[in-house]
Every structure is written in structure tokens, then in C-alpha cells.
Structure 1
Amino acid sequence: MRAAIWYGARDVRVVETAVPTPRPHEVLVEVAYCGICGSDLHEYADGPHAIPVAAPHPASGTKAPLVLGHEFCGTVAALGSSVTGLAVGDPVAIEPNYRCGTCPRCRAGEYNICQHFGFAGLMGDGGLADYAAVPRYMVHRLPACVPLEQAALFEPASVALHALRRAGSLGDTVAVVGLGPVGLLTVLLAAERGVRRIIAVDVAPARLAIAARLGATDLVDAAGGIDAAAKIHELAGGEGVDVAFEVVGSETALRTCLAATRRGGRVVLVGLAQQVRLDAFALVNNEQSIVSSVGYRDTYPELIRLIAERGIDLTPVVTSTVALADVVTDGFEALLNGAGDQVKILVAPHLTAARSPQAATNETEATR
């Protein structure tokens, strides 16, 4: 089979390798689609960050070089000897979290903060390949009414859904600052929950346009030095929003969220910033709360239900679908150099290599 293997920063190679043989507790999946995540992009650009290099990850037993890709779906190709509840040919979505099942957090059901937390495709071999072998607990069988094109977005949608859950009550007004795939899907899922006013903030007009399609009631173009927090306050009736989602991973975005949130409101940190400075005096005086959100847990069943029963559509965030052989040029490099026009790129191993960007985009449009 072919696989996109990470050897180092700016060194991802699509190579021929053996099809994995599933161990007794594993499922072999023929990959239909695999999304490129911002985490993958960081590993490509200047990694390693999460990829284990010196020693194998304790949950996967794997270290670099390894197969990238944790946002994937496909069909069951083979079953390990102890696997039950699945059959060859079943369409499946992969929830790529590694978990030990025995640490205190796993026993409490909080497997997204397992002490051996990690992802297939970052800490072990993933789905940027023709086939991937994963533990049975990662595999969710899909009903016939849920297309694989939708399931390809379950992973980033799960990050958004978990962040909404972490926010608690959303109130009447929310702001989403940062409109990458997770931010856009936060807009969509907030709209599905009936939030009256959703203010979407970004610097890229193309992403703001997608947010409007997904349910944003107001758009704030933060380019050109605009005071985004003041604009959000104005749109929220002068008081500020009930909840703001920081989905950028920067101190500037966090400050915007805090300044845009009403007294007693909440900010949910989803973006991955390093260090930030806060005005703790203002935070206390305004009795605001900052809540963090990492990964997700128990989200795939709800997403399956939302698509099967309510007909929500995750695919507007997809801007290109490319062949596995072209993942570096038309995937990683396109995202690094796309100036915000690219949002979510899916890699489809079944596509013929060296397709034009327009042909790939046309195929994506045809699946919607």
C-alpha cells in the first residue's frame, strides 16, 4: 500500500509499505478520506511537536517515522481475531484517541485526558494511507444514511462539539474568534443548538463567507487593525457576548475574547497557545470564567445522530479533495501558502494522482 510517512520537518514522503496485519484487538480499515489537521501541518512545517521520536508512545508502541493523519474514515477490510460487532465492508468513522482504560481519568470516563493521551496519526500510525489498523474502541460503524464524506469531518466536529459542551449554557449570544475548520464547525453546531446570535471573527473573507453559510448571524473582519472586541460588543447590544470561543491559539485572540465577553461570561480556550498574559484584576472584577477544552469524548454518537436524524451538513468546510500522492504539494504546501483560502483539505487515496486543483475542487463540490 501507499502511505504518507513523516520522517522530519518538511520531510513527508508517500512511499510503498506493507499493509498492516490487524492484531487480535484491531480493525483494518480501507481509508476513504483523511483530513489534514492543523496539528499535521505543524508537524510538517517545523515538527516534531507531538510525534514521538526518542521513544515509542506508551499507548501505540510506535515512534517516528510514522504515518500521519488522524481525521479519517473508510470501510472495514479485515478484523482481528477478538473483534466483535463489525463485519468486513462496514462503513466506519475513526475516533483516533488512544486511551489506556485503566488510569483514574479513563475509569471516570474522561478518556480524552487519559495519562497516555494521544492520537493515531500523531503518536502512532494513522490514516494518510490506503489502509490503517486501529484498536476496536476507535471504530464507529455508520448507518447507511451517513455518507463517508460527512464522517471525514467527525474529528474536527468533535473538537467543536466538546468545546460547546465545556461552555455549559451558551446563552443568547456567542462569539467564535478564529474560523479554521474547528471554528467554523463551532459556528455550525452552535446554530444547530439554537443560539440566537453568533458572531464570527476572522481575517480571511473566504472563511467569513463560509461562516455565514453555516449559521453565523454577524461577521467581523478583524483585518486592518479593527477593534474586534468593540465591534462584538456593539453587535451584542453593548454588553458583550455570553460565551466566546478562542479558536486561534494566540494571546491577541484571547484578549479579544475576554474584552468581548460580558461580565459573568465565559471564554472557552480551544486554540493551542504557548504562554499568555492576562489582566487578572479585570478577570476577577468582571467575574469572568476561562474554561479549556482538549480533544473530545463521547461525541461520535451525537454527530452520527445529528447527520442521520437532523440532516446537518459538515462538508461546507471542505475546500479541496486531493490524491494521496499529491498530499505534500496540494495538501500541506497549499495550506501553508493558501492565505486563508484553503480551510479543510481531504485526502482521498482512491483519487488519481496529479489532479488539477480545480478538478479536485469540482469533485468535492459534487459530493455535497
Structure 2
Amino acid sequence: MRAAVWHGPRDVRVQDVPRRAPGRGEVEIAVAYCGICGSDLHEYADGPHAIPVGEPHPESGRAAPLTLGHEFSGTVAEVGPGVTGFAPGDRVAVEPHYRCGRCARCAAGEYNLCAHFGFAGLMGDGGLAERAVVPSYMLHRLPDGVSLRQAAVFEPAAVALHGVRRSGLRDGETAAVVGLGPIGLLVVGLAVRYGAGRVVACDPSPARRALARRLGAAETVDAGGLPPGAADLAFEAVGSGRALADCLAGTRHGGRTVLLGLGGTVAVDAFALVNNEQSIIGSVGYRDCHGELIRLAAEEGMDFTSIVTSVVPLAEVVRDGFRALLDTTEEIKVLVRP
């Protein structure tokens, strides 16, 4: 079968790889759509960051070279021994978190903080392929009326929903969203859905600001344009020290900032942070979000595909996917259709 395999930075190859039968507790998926994530772009541009090299990941048993892609949906093709609840032909969304089920955090239900934290498509073979084999616990069956294209966006939507939950958003609060990539845009829509009285969206791209308004933002501003102290909480969805500083300056005394962006070391004015009694909240991945997203799509008609700007074939994933996303701000979410 064909797959997009990471060999090193700027070295992703669409190549033939052996098709693997599902083992005990595993399911083979015929992939319908797979999104390209910001994490994938980091790995392509200057990785490895999360991809294991040399030492295999403890849950997947895999190390580079491996197949990328963790935002995917498809149809069950084959089930392995011991799998119950799924059968060939089932349409599914994939929640690609690996979890050991044995550590303290898994026992507490916080599987996104598993001691063996990881994602299929980063720490193991993923969905940028014609077929993907994953543990059955990653699957969510889709009801009629929820498309496979919609389901491919549930993974980044889950990141956004988990961040909104972590924020402690209360009805009527003003929320600022700094950075209108896929995650930031999804936060805009979900913050409105979960009770924000006003959402202010911040990004240098006029097209992304316009999309944020269509998703429910009451106001949009250019980068650095957040009014001082105007928001109760802010979401940093860029991964930069400048964006974090904008969030802290744009939130009131006692305000909260949720970090969703993948950034490195940043400097924070701890004196101001203490005196203003502000909070910085980390948010990683998601847990127990996919069921709610399926419900929102099936019962409330929420359309998460509004952020999708292109659908490209697997053969052109490097040129029309990775390179296009790095070279232009016009692309937001690219789906690959193997």
C-alpha cells in the first residue's frame, strides 16, 4: 500500500510499505481523509520533535521511519483477535492517543497524561496511508449524517474543546483567541457554543479574521491589537513568546491564559503575573471529547469543516500539503484523501 513516510526533516516520501494485518485488540482502517496538523509541519520542517528515532515508543513499538498522520477517519476493513463492538464496514473517527491503561494518570481517567503519552501518526504509524492499523480503543463509530470528511476534523476540534474545558469558561465571559490557525479558529466556534459572551479573535491574516467572524467572533484585531485587560480569559494558539505576552496583557487582573500553541522557552514577567493574580494553564491533547463532538455534529449541526481549505491526493501530500502550508497563509486545514 502507499503511505507518506517520515525519514527525516524535509524528507517525507510517498512510498510502498507492507500492509500489516491487525493484531490482538487492533483494527485496520481504510483511510478516507487525514488532516495535516501543525505538529506534522514541525516534524517535516525541522524534526524530529516527537517522532521516536532509534528507541521505539513503548506503546506502538515503532521508531522512524514511520507513517505520519493523526487526524483521520475511515471505514473498518478488518478486525483483529479479541476486538468486540466493531465490524468491517463501520464508519469511524480515530482518537489517536496511545494509552497504557496501567499508570496513575490512566487509572484516574486522565489518559492524555499517560506515562507513555503519544499519538498514532507521530509516535507510531498513522493515517497518511491507504490503510492504518490502530488499537480498537481509539475508534468512535459515526452515526448516519456525520460524514467522514467531518470526522477527520474531530481531532483538532478535540484539542480545541479540551482547551475550552481547561479554561473554566463561564457564561458571559469575554474570551480572546490569539492565533487563528485551525486550533484557534475551532476555539472561536466552541467558545461561542459553550457560553462566551464575546470572543475577540487576533491574527495578522485578514482572511482568517473574516473566517473567525463567520464562526462567531464579535470582534477581530490584527496581531498585537488586543485591548489591554479587556478579556476574562485568553487562548494562546500560536506557540510564541510574543503571543503569550499579548494574552497576558489582554486579560484582566485575575484572568486566565490557556496555552495551546507549541512553543519553546519563553520569558514571563513573574512580578506582573503575581501582582495581577493571573493564571497560565497548560492544555495537551484531549480526553473524553470525541463523543461530545460527534453529538454536536449529529444533533446540533455544527460544521467543523469550515476550516478546510483544500483536499489533496496522497501522491501530492508534500507539494500541495506540507510545502503549501509552510509557504502561504492562504491554506488553513489541508485534508489528504488516500
**CA deviation digits over 1:302-351, x for unaligned, max 9?**
0011111111010110000000000000000101111x1110000001xx
Alignment gaps of 5+ in structure 1 = 234-238, 350-368
Q: What's the % identity of the aligned pairs?
A: 64
What residue is the counterpart of 2:113 in the other structure?
Answer: 113
- Cα deviation, residue 194, structure 1: 2.9
Whole-Å separation in 1 of the counterparts to 2:267 and 2:67: 36
CA RMSD of aligned residues (A): 0.9
Alignment gaps of 5+ in structure 2 = none
- Cα deviation, residue 18, structure 1: 2.0
What residue is the counterpart of 1:174 in the other structure?
Answer: 175
**CA deviation digits over 1:279-299, x for unaligned, max 9?**
111111111111110000000
- Cα deviation, residue 212, structure 1: 1.0
Q: Runs ≥4 in structure 1, deviation > 4 angstroms?
A: none
Whole-Å separation in 1 of the counterparts to 2:247 and 2:169: 17
- Cα deviation, residue 272, structure 1: 1.5
What residue is the counterpart of 1:145 in the other structure?
Answer: 145
What residue is the counterpart of 1:263 in the other structure?
Answer: 253
Higher mean C-alpha displacement, 322-331 vs 186-195: 186-195
Whole-Å separation in 2 of the counterparts to 1:319 and 1:192: 23
Whole-Å separation in 2 of the counterparts to 1:65 and 1:280: 42
With normalisation by structure 1, the TM-score equals: 0.90
**CA deviation digits over 1:69-114, x for unaligned, max 9?**
0000000000011100011101000000001000000000000010
What residue is the counterpart of 1:3 in the other structure?
Answer: 3
Whole-Å separation in 2 of the counterparts to 1:253 and 1:61: 37
What residue is the counterpart of 2:184 in the other structure?
Answer: 183
What residue is the counterpart of 1:39 in the other structure?
Answer: 39
Counterpart of 1:333 (choices 317, 320, 323) is 323
Whole-Å separation in 1 of the counterparts to 2:169 and 2:321: 37
SS in 2 for 1:228: coil
**Aligned counterparts, 1:48-197, within 5 A:** 48-170=48-170, 171-197=172-198
Aligned length: 337
- Cα deviation, residue 172, structure 1: 1.8
With normalisation by structure 2, the TM-score equals: 0.98
What residue is the counterpart of 1:201 in the other structure?
Answer: 202
Kindly indicate whether residue 330 of structure 2 is the aligned counterpart of residue 345 of structure 1.
Answer: no
Whole-Å separation in 1 of the counterparts to 2:52 and 2:269: 36
Kindly indicate whether residue 186 of structure 2 is the aligned counterpart of residue 228 of structure 1.
Answer: no
**CA deviation digits over 1:245-299, x for unaligned, max 9?**
0000110000000000011111111112111111111111111111110000000
**CA deviation digits over 1:90-147, x for unaligned, max 9?**
1000000001000000000000010100000000000000000000110111111211
- Cα deviation, residue 47, structure 1: 0.8
